[in-house]
Structure 1
Amino acid sequence: MSFSTEKVARAVRQAVADGLLTRERPVAGFLDVRGVRESVAALHEAFAGVPDVLHAFAAKACPLVPVLRLLADAGMGCEVASPGELRLALDAGFAPARIVLDSPAKTRGEIRAALELGVALNADNLDELDRIDALRPDGCPSVLGLRVNPQVGSGSIGAMSTATSHSKFGVALRDPGARERVVEAFVRRPWLTRLHAHVGSQGCPLPLIAQGLAELHRLAEEIDARVGRRRVTSLDLGGGLPVNFADDSVTPTHAAYVAALAAEEPALLDGRYQVVTEFGRSLLAKNGVTAAFVEYVKEAGGHRIALTHAGAHVATRTVFMPQAWPLRVTAYGPDGTPKRGPLVPYDVAGPLCFAGDVVAHAHPLPELAEGDLVVLHDTGAYYFSAPWAYNSLPRPAVYGCFLEDGGGVAFATVRPAQSAREISLENGADLADALLTGFAAPSGG
C-alpha cells in the first residue's frame, strides 16, 4: 500500500550494494512491486459491493510496459489518451475490450483505429460523435460514450481541476442548452451507451468529486427516461483520487472514495450501471521513489544548497509548482544507510541549467556531503516514468523491487538508463547532414 520509509531504506541500501546506484549512474527510480499489487487489491476490495466494475489504470501515470503488464496481471484494465499509450497498453497485454480511449483531440485516424480494434472510446464533444457516426463500422464491438463536464468547480490546484466552468474537457452541462443537446445525442444514437466524467485530480476533495459524479448519475437517469428504456448501461467515473504526500500513510483510501460516492448518491453504485474507474496516481504514487547522488554542497546568500542528480527532468511538476506538489526528501550515506544527526535546511537542487531547478526549498536534512544520496518519496506516478528531456539528460533507469519477508531485496530492470548515443540518435544523429545535403537540387532556370 505504501513504500514506507523503512522499506525504502532497505531498497536503497541494497541498490547501492548491487551497483544500481553509482557515481556513474547517479539517479534511478524504484517501484515496490508488492506494494503495487496490494494497492490494486485494496481498490478491488473497496468496490467489492459493486456488481460490475472495470478498473482501468490511467497509463499516463506510469507509461512503462512492464509496469502496465504487472497491473494487467493484477486484474486491471487500462485507460489511454493517445496512440502511443494505446500501443503501450496493447504491448503490455491488455485485451482491447479492457482498454478505454480518452482524449480531447482524437483524429479521425485514431478514432477509426480504436473502433477497428474494439477499444472502448469516450467522445469528448458532440462534434466527435458526428465523426464516430461516419467511421463506426457495422457490428463494431466498442463501447462508446460521451464525456460531460458537470461544472461543479475547482479543487485547490486549478491546473488539475477538470470540472470548472471553462474546462477544455467534455460537454459543459450547465452551459445554455448543453444538457438538452446531450440527451438528444443519446436519443438519436442507439450505439451511445456510456456517460463519462472526470471531476478532478490532486487537490480535489472527495465531496466535490462525489457531487460531480452524482450529477452524472442524474443525467443517465434523465436520458433513460427520455428514451423510454434503458440506453445508458455504464458510467465511467474517471479517476482523480488525491494522494497524501506528507507522510507514509495512504489517505484518502479507495474505500473512503466509495463511501463518499454512496453518501452523495446511494444509487450510483447499486448495480444498475456498469462502473468504470480510471485511477492512476492513487495506485502508484506511494509505491515509488527516486534516489540520486549529491554531487556538490555549497552556500549562496546564506542558503545551503545540495546539487543533486534529481531535478526537473524527473520531478517536473514539483519544480514548477512546488506549493502544489511538495515532495518529502530523506538523506542517506554513500552506502545507502539513512543519515542521522541535527537537521539543517537545504535547498535540494537538480542538475539542469536554470535557476528554478529546485525540488525542495529549505528542507530540513542531516548535514550532507558529496557522495551522499537523497530520496524523493511518493514518485511512483508522473515522476521518473515521464522524464523531461531538458539539457538532453538521460532518462534514468527504473527498477522494480521485491522486498522479501526475510529482509532481502531483489530487483528487476523496468527501463534501462538511456545512453548518450541513444540521446543523440533520438535527436537526429543519423540525419546529421540533412540540412546540408538533404534538400532536393534546385530546379534550373
Structure 2
Amino acid sequence: MARHHMSLQQPDPPRIDADAWFDGVDLRELAARYPTPFYAYSANAIRTRIRGLQQALAGLNYAICYAVKANSNLAVLQLMAAEGVGADIVSSGELWRSLHAGIPAQRIVFSGVGKTEQEMAEALAAGIQRFNVESADELEALERLASSLHVTAHAAVRINPDVDALTHAKISTGKAENKFGVSIAEARRWFARAGSMHHVKLDGLHVHIGSQMLSVAPIREALARVAAFWRELEAAGHALNSIDVGGGLGVRYRYGHDEPVTPEAYASAIRDHLGAFKGRILLEPGRYLVGEAGVLLTRVVRIKQGDTHRFVVLDAAMNDLLRPSLYDAWHDIVPLVPRPGPSQACDIVGPVCETGDTFARGRMLPPLEAGDLVMIRTSGAYGSSMSSTYNSRPLVAELLLDEGRHAIVRRRQTFEDMIAGEQPARWETV
C-alpha cells in the first residue's frame, strides 16, 4: 500500500490516477478495507504547513496556537503538541481535549464571545496562558472568578476593527455588526480603568476578522489599526505583553481558482505592522494547518436521471460534511476510478432527507457508476468537527496517514455508540 506521493500538496490538480495516493497511501486500497464514508488526514501535510509558517515567521517573537475548532481529533492535537504548537480554544471541551492531547496549559488561549463562568473557572484552574475577552460583562466575571480562586488572569481585549474580511458573510467576524469583540473606543475605556482590577492583568490585544481569507489586504488593514492602538496605549503608559493576530488564512478549495495567501506574505504583513512590538505575537491558524490535509472518501450509491437534472447520490451526506449546505461552499470532487467518456453536468447529493443535502450543483464529472469511489478534497477543517448524527447516521471513521502508514484515530460509531447517552424516561418531581 505504501508509496511516497503527496498529491494534494501540488499547486495544480493532479491526474485522477495520481489523486488516489495521499501521504504514501493508496486511497483505493484504504476504501476497500474500511467502509465509506470516512475521513483521511495526512500527517505530513499538517507538518509541512506548520513548519512553513514557522520558517516564514523566523526572527519574530511568536507562538502558534492552533484553532482547535477546525479539527479537534485527539491525534491531530497530539501532532500539534509534538510540533510545539499551542491551542486556541472556545469551550471547556476543547480545553479538555487539548490538555488530554499533551498541549501544555501555558500554550492555551481561550477565545469566544460566550464563555460561561464554569468554563472560565476551569481554564483558570488549569492555568492557561490568557483569555481573549469580548465584553465588559466577561471582563467583570473574570475578575470575580480569579479573585475567588486567588489567581491572576492574563487577558487580551478582542478588538473589532470594522474591517471587511472579503469572505463569506457567515464567517466574517471583524465588522461592526458582528457579535465578536469590542470597538477600539470601548477597549480604550477598559485600559483606562485597568488599574482598578486586582486579579486580571489586561496586557494584550486580539484581533480576528474572519476566516477563509484569500487576500492579504484586509489582514494588513486590521493589523494597521491594531498597531496604531498599541502605540497609543504604549504612549499612555499601558504595557502590552502580547498581540494576538488571530487566524483566518484561506486554503485551496477550488484548484485552479483559489489562490491562498502565502505564509511569506502573511509574515511580511505582521513584520511591517508589528515588527517593533517587544512582546509576543500570537497566531491562531486552524483551517490553514489542516484543511488541505484532509479528504472525505465516499462511494456512489446510485445515479438518478431526472427530467432536468442528473443526480449522483453519495453515501456521504450533509451530516458528515456540512460546509456545502451551510455556506454553499465549494469542494473539489474527484472520482478515483477513471472511466472513459465525456463529462456531464451533475448535482452531487447525499441520502439525507433535506434538499440542502447537496455537495455541488451542475458539477462537470466524468462517467460514474454505483459503487465508484469519490474523494471530496480539502475537508480536513470543519468536516468532522461540525458533523452530527442527523437522520440517525453514525459518525464516520477518521484515519491518519503518515509515510505509507495509516491508523484509525476515531472508529466509526456503532448504533449502540450513537444512543449511549439516551435512556427511557425516569420521572422525577422537583
Q: Please give the TM-score of this superposition, normalised by the length of structure 1.
A: 0.87
Q: Could you tell me which residue of structure 2 aligns to residue 60 of structure 1?
A: 69
Q: How many residues align?
A: 413
| Conserved 8 A contact 1:33-1:400 | yes
| Conserved 8 A contact 1:161-1:204 | no
Q: Could you tell me which residue of structure 2 aligns to residue 125 of structure 1?
A: 135
Displacement after TM superposition at 1:100 (Å)? 0.6
Q: Could you tell me which residue of structure 2 aligns to residue 241 of structure 1?
A: 249
Q: Compute the RMSD of aligned alpha carbons.
A: 2.3
One-letter amino acid matched to 1:232: L
One-letter amino acid matched to 2:295: V
**Identity of paired residues, percent?**
28
Displacement after TM superposition at 1:156 (Å)? 3.3
Displacement after TM superposition at 1:283 (Å)? 0.8
Q: Cα gap change, 1:441/1:71 in structure 2, threshold over 3 Å: closer, same or farther?
A: closer
Is 2:168 aligned against 1:157? Answer: yes
Is 2:88 aligned against 1:105? Answer: no
One-letter amino acid matched to 2:26: Q
| Conserved 8 A contact 1:332-1:339 | no
Displacement after TM superposition at 1:48 (Å)? 0.5
Unaligned runs of 5+ in 1: 404-408
Displacement after TM superposition at 1:385 (Å)? 3.6
| Conserved 8 A contact 1:236-1:277 | yes
Deviations 1:313-345 (A, max 9, x none): 1221212322xx211111123xxxx44542111
Is 2:122 aligned against 1:116? Answer: no
Q: Could you tell me which residue of structure 1 aligns to residue 382 of structure 2?
A: 382
| Conserved 8 A contact 2:19-2:336 | no
Q: Could you tell me which residue of structure 2 aligns to residue 147 of structure 1?
A: 158
Displacement after TM superposition at 1:13 (Å)? 7.5
Name which of 305, 313, 319 aligns with 1:313.
Answer: 319
The DSSP-based 3-state class of the residue aligned with 2:378 is coil
Q: Could you tell me which residue of structure 1 aligns to residue 177 of structure 2?
A: 166
Q: Cα gap change, 1:194/1:368 in structure 2, threshold over 3 Å: closer, same or farther?
A: same
The DSSP-based 3-state class of the residue aligned with 1:146 is strand
Q: Could you tell me which residue of structure 1 aligns to residue 26 of structure 2?
A: 14
How far apart, CA to CA, are the structure 2 residues paired with 1:158 and 1:19?
A: 36
How far apart, CA to CA, are the structure 2 residues paired with 1:148 and 1:332?
A: 46
How far apart, CA to CA, are the structure 2 residues paired with 1:21 and 1:306?
A: 23
Q: Cα gap change, 1:18/1:153 in structure 2, threshold over 3 Å: closer, same or farther?
A: closer
Q: Could you tell me which residue of structure 2 aligns to residue 221 of structure 1?
A: 231
Q: Could you tell me which residue of structure 2 aligns to residue 406 of structure 1?
A: none
How far apart, CA to CA, are the structure 2 residues paired with 1:274 and 1:286?
A: 28
1:29-108 to 2 correspondences below 5 Å: 29-50=39-60, 52-108=61-117
The DSSP-based 3-state class of the residue aligned with 2:162 is coil
| Conserved 8 A contact 2:165-2:219 | no
Displacement after TM superposition at 1:15 (Å)? 4.0
1:143-292 to 2 correspondences below 5 Å: 143-173=154-184, 177-189=185-197, 191-203=201-213, 205-227=215-237, 231-247=239-255, 251-263=260-272, 265=273, 268-292=274-298
Q: Could you tell me which residue of structure 1 aligns to residue 409 of structure 2?
A: 414
Q: Cα gap change, 1:182/1:440 in structure 2, threshold over 3 Å: closer, same or farther?
A: closer
How far apart, CA to CA, are the structure 1 residues paired with 2:419 and 2:116?
A: 31
| Conserved 8 A contact 1:64-1:414 | yes
One-letter amino acid matched to 2:243: L
One-letter amino acid matched to 2:326: F
The DSSP-based 3-state class of the residue aligned with 2:21 is helix
Q: Could you tell me which residue of structure 2 aligns to residue 439 of structure 1?
A: 427
The DSSP-based 3-state class of the residue aligned with 1:293 is strand
One-letter amino acid matched to 1:276: L
| Conserved 8 A contact 2:89-2:109 | yes
The DSSP-based 3-state class of the residue aligned with 1:191 is strand
Deviations 1:133-152 (A, max 9, x none): 22224773653222121112
Q: Could you tell me which residue of structure 1 aligns to residue 3 of structure 2?
A: none
One-letter amino acid matched to 2:179: K
How far apart, CA to CA, are the structure 2 residues paired with 1:17 and 1:232?
A: 53
The DSSP-based 3-state class of the residue aligned with 2:420 is helix
Q: Cα gap change, 1:17/1:317 in structure 2, threshold over 3 Å: closer, same or farther?
A: closer
Deviations 1:282-315 (A, max 9, x none): 1111111101010111111231111101221122
Deviations 1:225-278 (A, max 9, x none): 212xx5211101110112221218872122111223344x2xx13341210000
How far apart, CA to CA, are the structure 1 residues paired with 2:319 and 2:301?
A: 16
Name which of structure 1's ranges 361-370 and 186-195 shifts more when overlaid on structure 2: 186-195
The DSSP-based 3-state class of the residue aligned with 2:348 is strand
Displacement after TM superposition at 1:92 (Å)? 0.6
Q: Cα gap change, 1:219/1:441 in structure 2, threshold over 3 Å: closer, same or farther?
A: closer
How far apart, CA to CA, are the structure 2 residues paired with 1:39 and 1:258?
A: 14
How far apart, CA to CA, are the structure 2 residues paired with 1:15 and 1:153?
A: 39
Deviations 1:366-392 (A, max 9, x none): 111011011111111111343132112
One-letter amino acid matched to 2:357: D
Q: Could you tell me which residue of structure 2 aligns to residue 134 of structure 1?
A: 144
Q: Cα gap change, 1:339/1:261 in structure 2, threshold over 3 Å: closer, same or farther?
A: farther
Displacement after TM superposition at 1:21 (Å)? 5.2
Is 2:331 aligned against 1:331? Answer: no
Q: Cα gap change, 1:182/1:207 in structure 2, threshold over 3 Å: closer, same or farther?
A: farther
Displacement after TM superposition at 1:180 (Å)? 3.4
Q: Could you tell me which residue of structure 2 aligns to residue 358 of structure 1?
A: 358
Deviations 1:57-89 (A, max 9, x none): 000000101110001101210110001111110
Name which of structure 1's ranges 232-241 and 5-14 shifts more when overlaid on structure 2: 5-14
Q: Cα gap change, 1:292/1:170 in structure 2, threshold over 3 Å: closer, same or farther?
A: same
Q: Please give the TM-score of this superposition, normalised by the length of structure 2.
A: 0.90
| Conserved 8 A contact 1:15-1:21 | no
| Conserved 8 A contact 1:101-1:122 | yes
Deviations 1:401-436 (A, max 9, x none): 123xxxxx321111111111111224x1xx12x1xx
Q: Cα gap change, 1:179/1:37 in structure 2, threshold over 3 Å: closer, same or farther?
A: closer
